[in-house]
Amino acid sequence: MHRIIKEKLPRHIAVIMDGNGRWAKKNMLKRGMGHERGAESVRTVVKTCRELGIQYLTLYAFSVENWQRPKSEVRALISLLETYLKSELVEMKETGIRLFTIGDTEKLPKTVRDLLFRAMEETSGNSGMVLNLALSYGGRDEIISAVQGILRDAKLSNIDEKTITKDVFSQYLYTADMPDPDLLIRTSGEYRLSNFLLWQMAYTELYFTDVLWPDFSKDELIEAIVDYQRRERRFGLVSDQLSKD
Ligand code: IPE
Ligand code: IPE
Ligand code: MG
**CATH code at 233?**
3.40.1180.10
- Mean local confidence (pLDDT), 107-112: 97
- Mean local confidence (pLDDT), 164-190: 98
Q: Note the pLDDT of residue 2.
A: 72
Report if residue 154 sits inside a domain.
no
What pLDDT, in 10s, does the model give residues 184-219? 999 999 999 999 999 999 999 999 999 999 999 999
The pocket of ion ligand 3, defined by CB under 5 A, consists of: 18
Long-range CB contacts (within 8 A, 24+) of 114-117: 115/82, 115/85, 115/86, 116/85
What pLDDT, in 10s, does the model give residues 4-20? 999 999 999 999 999 99
Report if residue 158 sits inside a domain.
no
pTM for the whole structure: 0.97
pLDDT interval class at 43 (50, 70, 90)? very high
- Mean local confidence (pLDDT), 34-43: 98
Q: Note the pLDDT of residue 245.
A: 57
The catalytic residue among 66, 141, 180, 195 is 66
Report if residue 1 sits inside a domain.
no
Buried b (16+ CB within 10 A) or exposed e, 194-233: ebbbebbbeebbebbbebbbbbbeeebbebbbeebbeeee
pLDDT at 244 over 90: no
The atom of ligand 2 lying closest to the CA of 17 is: 5
Q: Note the pLDDT of residue 42.
A: 98
CB atoms within 10 A of CB 82: 16
132 catalytically annotated: no
What pLDDT, in 10s, does the model give residues 226-237? 999 999 999 999
Report if residue 220 sits inside a domain.
yes
Report if residue 157 sits inside a domain.
no
Q: How many domains would you assign to the chain?
A: 1
Residue 75 belongs to domain spanning: 9-137+180-244
Q: Note the pLDDT of residue 158.
A: 86
Report if residue 82 sits inside a domain.
yes
pLDDT at 142 over 70: yes
Report if residue 3 sits inside a domain.
no
The catalytic residue among 18, 20, 132, 182 is 18
Residue with CA closest to ligand 2 atom 11: 194
Which residues on adjacent β-strands are paired with residue 98?
A: 130
Whole-number Å distance between alpha carbons of 175 and 158: 25
In the reported structure, the alpha carbon of residue 21 is separated from the centroid of ligand 3 by a whole-number distance in angstroms of 7
The atom of ligand 2 lying closest to the CA of 62 is: 6
For the chain, give the mean pLDDT: 97
Cβ(140)–Cβ(198) below 8 Å: yes
pLDDT at 178 over 80: yes
Cβ(172)–Cβ(165) below 8 Å: no
Report if residue 170 sits inside a domain.
no
Phi and psi angles of residue 76, each rounded to the nearest 5 degrees, phi first = -65, -40
